[in-house]
A and B are shown apart, each in its own frame.
Chain A
């Protein structure tokens, strides 16, 4: 079996495992008719609404049908997504504040141009839609070429008669401010503005050689951006004294079908293998599956998101979550959401990791209804096996434990109809950095910056914490070692270090037992495992102090955010019982919540063996990350550590 197939197999197995566990263990709490309480999944790539079948049925998000969904517009309040159902001659609404329930907002379903009440008014192939106020919309009917103003507050539809112009035909893009509606028409080669109050129309661009066929159009940072239908550049429209706007080249993202601004980024949609692109920089946004692979693009047998080469296509920002976009097209007959989050392959953990959390692509502002976890750990939580790394040329973030945990928590919430969502961020270093020390320095800032609710420190059986105590100087004030080495201190003679070190008593006690050495170059080393130290009262007492101090400091610096210490037994099982007991006592003394995963691992250990590669590095493989994610999700929920 080729390698890629091998990994796919494991990934598939992981999915089956996670799915089976969800169903099996969730049975005790799930309602008998799960379908009634299903909620949309909170994920980077998710279904917003639509079964995919053609129709006009309203109702629960996954069962509702669209005839021919085209334009999309998210309400400023973030509660409603309006869908121009072109073939159904209706305006449909997705109630984002009610589990994405689909409703009909306006239109009889028969093509027409009748004004009046929402339910009696008719539309003729409504194609573009934009909000022009909190509850007011403009709709362009492709069948009649008319602009319609829909007042959801007042419950009326009226036609905006643009003075002095024929009905607008061949409209590629529509953008709107509260006062003016802008339409791009590639056929006649013009950009038109229509004053909403007076209906007066003005031609802003016509026959401009840089934009001979005006196409994709969007507001971004209160400025109008325009792309040519056949060109590859994006232009910014600026005010001009001459009356007609100045065009300034702003980016070259390739030929765009639509544009939308979301979370401070202008995005473009294009009929290409990588359909989503940051329009001003030209960077494509990779669509990464939950299994860490690029999703098939256009031209592949089954593309995830096939963008037509021309409108209609729906493309709008999700007002609730930064850098998240709604997408649809008549052929798709579903509305999807795509979140611009970096989940691709991290090729080099050494150069890409330090300094910032891996998940700094998450917006700093936490979306409403989201509970944020920050998992802190070593490579066991972010790296895979040698074989997988060789295959991917690195390791996809989507495959790692934190992303699995996020997906599984959100899947449980969706399946059980819970109105809560989760984001799981990562902060980690390789195990040569002392996991018992560096979080006290680095994690509080990350937790505060990203408004994290709970930090989970993932502690494996071995860490380099004691080594840091022995070979780094205590920092004045905190009394714990620094996060980084001090090379000059490292080279001090052993005795000089011991005179200053809070770890001297432990070292001496270990030395008497033949468990510690000082090298001629001054390096101090305790050769006993934590399990061995924990087994002897004198050594245990000293170790509890050294392990406890930085942890307590971390807790203090995190407050009022919650800290959970999670001990998990991946790797050596030597002295595991003593270590569990040690951490139990440590957490109890320091008032830190302990999540002991040893029992859960033991239950599943034989059935899922092996969870990691067996070459001695103890990294989970893809399925291992999934099972680990499931276990932690289960414990977090069942012990009420996270709200659910």
Chain B
């Protein structure tokens, strides 16, 4: 499984993600990202997500029989801790499935985390990681069942996602 990982990680999106260095390491000077301002509320229906939510924050790894999507959602912390977080997650899952997952593989597992801090190079400090959500779904079914820009209804969610765990 692991032999194909390095080649398949989208380095351009996330570069060489590495665990946070030991205390004496020189480039682990902490640059706290902080909590987004209060104004960063959940986007209204069909409002496009800011590109900053995803830039250098998504790793897609091809696994045996599925694709794993990892999203460091620290930039979207506000919406993802608000009342509409499930809707936001569903829409993000659709977007990433459409843009980052190739058409060849249907099954997608997606983990959403907050990594609170980065080092001075912008690398995530994994020791500040916090799990947010775990989703599993069929790419084809999600793209078909949830149109681009549409806001999913609650009744739809169970049909669109096989697993939708939110902490």
**B3–A433 touching, CB < 8 Å:** no
Q: In the complex, A366 Cα to B20 Cα: how many Å?
A: 37
Q: In the complex, A104 Cα to B166 Cα: how many Å?
A: 84
Interface size, B (range): 35 or more
Question: Cβ of B162 < 8 Å from any Cβ of A?
Answer: no
Contact segment of B89-97, B98-106, B116-124, B150-158: B116-124
Q: In the complex, A223 Cα to B61 Cα: how many Å?
A: 48
Question: Cβ of B126 < 8 Å from any Cβ of A?
Answer: yes
With contacts A467-B19, A483-B16 known, is A355 near B11, CB below 8 A? yes
**B6–A441 touching, CB < 8 Å:** yes
**A464 CB contact (under 8 Å) in B5, B20, B129:** B20
Known: A432-B25, A482-B2, A521-B131. 13 other contacts (CB 8 A): A378-B26, A378-B27, A429-B18, A432-B21, A468-B18, A473-B1, A476-B2, A484-B18, A485-B16, A487-B70, A490-B129, A491-B113, A618-B24
**A482–B26 touching, CB < 8 Å:** no
Closest to A519 in B: B127
Q: In the complex, A463 Cα to B22 Cα: how many Å?
A: 7
Chain B residues 51 to 110 lying within 8 A of chain A, measured CB to CB, are 59, 61, 63, 68, 70, 109
With contacts A482-B2, A487-B59 known, is A471 near B119, CB below 8 A? no
Closest to A617 in B: B26
Q: In the complex, A624 Cα to B76 Cα: how many Å?
A: 41
Interface size, A (range): 35 or more
Question: Cβ of A515 < 8 Å from any Cβ of B?
Answer: no
Question: Cβ of B35 < 8 Å from any Cβ of A?
Answer: no
**A488–B68 touching, CB < 8 Å:** yes
**B119–A432 touching, CB < 8 Å:** yes
Question: Cβ of A431 < 8 Å from any Cβ of B?
Answer: yes
**Chain B residues near A619 (CB, 8 Å)?**
26
**B2–A462 touching, CB < 8 Å:** no
**A464–B21 touching, CB < 8 Å:** yes
**Chain A residues near B68 (CB, 8 Å)?**
487-488
Q: Is the interface of A mostly helix, strand, loop or mixed?
A: loop
Q: What mask results when residues 445 to 464 of chain A are scored 1 for a CB within 8 Å of chain B, else 0?
A: 00000000000000011111
Q: Is the interface of B mostly helix, strand, loop or mixed?
A: loop
Q: B45 CB to closest chain A CB, in angstroms?
A: 30
**A432–B18 touching, CB < 8 Å:** yes
**Chain B residues near A383 (CB, 8 Å)?**
26-27
Question: Cβ of B31 < 8 Å from any Cβ of A?
Answer: no
Chain A residues 344 to 374 lying within 8 A of chain B, measured CB to CB, are 349-350, 354-355
**B5–A486 touching, CB < 8 Å:** yes
Question: Cβ of B145 < 8 Å from any Cβ of A?
Answer: no
**A484–B123 touching, CB < 8 Å:** no
Question: Cβ of B42 < 8 Å from any Cβ of A?
Answer: no
Q: A438 CB to closest chain B CB, in angstroms?
A: 7
Question: Cβ of B29 < 8 Å from any Cβ of A?
Answer: yes
With contacts A379-B26, A432-B121 known, is A467 near B2, CB below 8 A? no
With contacts A482-B2, A491-B113 known, is A617 near B27, CB below 8 A? yes
Question: Cβ of A55 < 8 Å from any Cβ of B?
Answer: no
**Chain B residues near A485 (CB, 8 Å)?**
9, 16-19, 59, 126
Question: Cβ of A430 < 8 Å from any Cβ of B?
Answer: yes
B residues apposed to A, CB below 8 Å: 1-3, 5-6, 9, 11, 15-29, 59, 61, 63, 68, 70, 109, 111, 113, 119-123, 125-127, 129-131
Closest to A573 in B: B24
Question: Cβ of A154 < 8 Å from any Cβ of B?
Answer: no
A residues apposed to B, CB below 8 Å: 349-350, 354-355, 378-380, 383, 429-434, 438, 441, 460-464, 467-468, 471, 473-477, 482-491, 519, 521, 523, 525, 529, 571-572, 574, 616-619
Q: By CB atoms of chain B within 10 A, which of A379, A438, A484, A572 has the most?
A: A484
**Chain A residues near B26 (CB, 8 Å)?**
378-380, 383, 431, 460, 571, 617-619
**Chain B residues near A617 (CB, 8 Å)?**
26-27, 29, 120
**B27–A431 touching, CB < 8 Å:** yes
**A475–B2 touching, CB < 8 Å:** yes
**B22–A349 touching, CB < 8 Å:** no
**A521–B25 touching, CB < 8 Å:** no
Closest to B119 in A: A432
**Chain B residues near A616 (CB, 8 Å)?**
29
**B29–A484 touching, CB < 8 Å:** no
**B121–A474 touching, CB < 8 Å:** no
With contacts A487-B70, A616-B29 known, is A477 near B15, CB below 8 A? no
Q: In the complex, A350 Cα to B14 Cα: how many Å?
A: 10
Q: In the complex, A485 Cα to B9 Cα: how many Å?
A: 9
**B131–A379 touching, CB < 8 Å:** no
With contacts A475-B3, A529-B22, A616-B29 known, is A523 near B126, CB below 8 A? yes
**A471–B126 touching, CB < 8 Å:** yes
Q: A613 CB to closest chain B CB, in angstroms?
A: 9
**Chain A residues near B5 (CB, 8 Å)?**
473, 475, 482, 484, 486
Q: By CB atoms of chain A within 10 A, which of B25, B27, B29, B120 has the most?
A: B25
Q: In the complex, A158 Cα to B116 Cα: how many Å?
A: 79
**Chain A residues near B122 (CB, 8 Å)?**
350
Q: B91 CB to closest chain A CB, in angstroms?
A: 21
Q: B85 CB to closest chain A CB, in angstroms?
A: 19
**A433–B18 touching, CB < 8 Å:** yes
Q: B163 CB to closest chain A CB, in angstroms?
A: 14
**A486 CB contact (under 8 Å) in B2, B16, B27, B121:** B2
With contacts A474-B2, A482-B5, A529-B22 known, is A354 near B126, CB below 8 A? no
18 of the cross-chain contacts (CB-CB < 8 Å) are A349-B121, A430-B27, A430-B121, A430-B123, A432-B18, A434-B18, A461-B24, A464-B19, A473-B1, A473-B2, A482-B2, A487-B17, A487-B61, A487-B111, A488-B63, A519-B127, A523-B127, A617-B120
**A431–B130 touching, CB < 8 Å:** no
Q: In the complex, A574 Cα to B63 Cα: how many Å?
A: 42
**Chain B residues near A474 (CB, 8 Å)?**
2
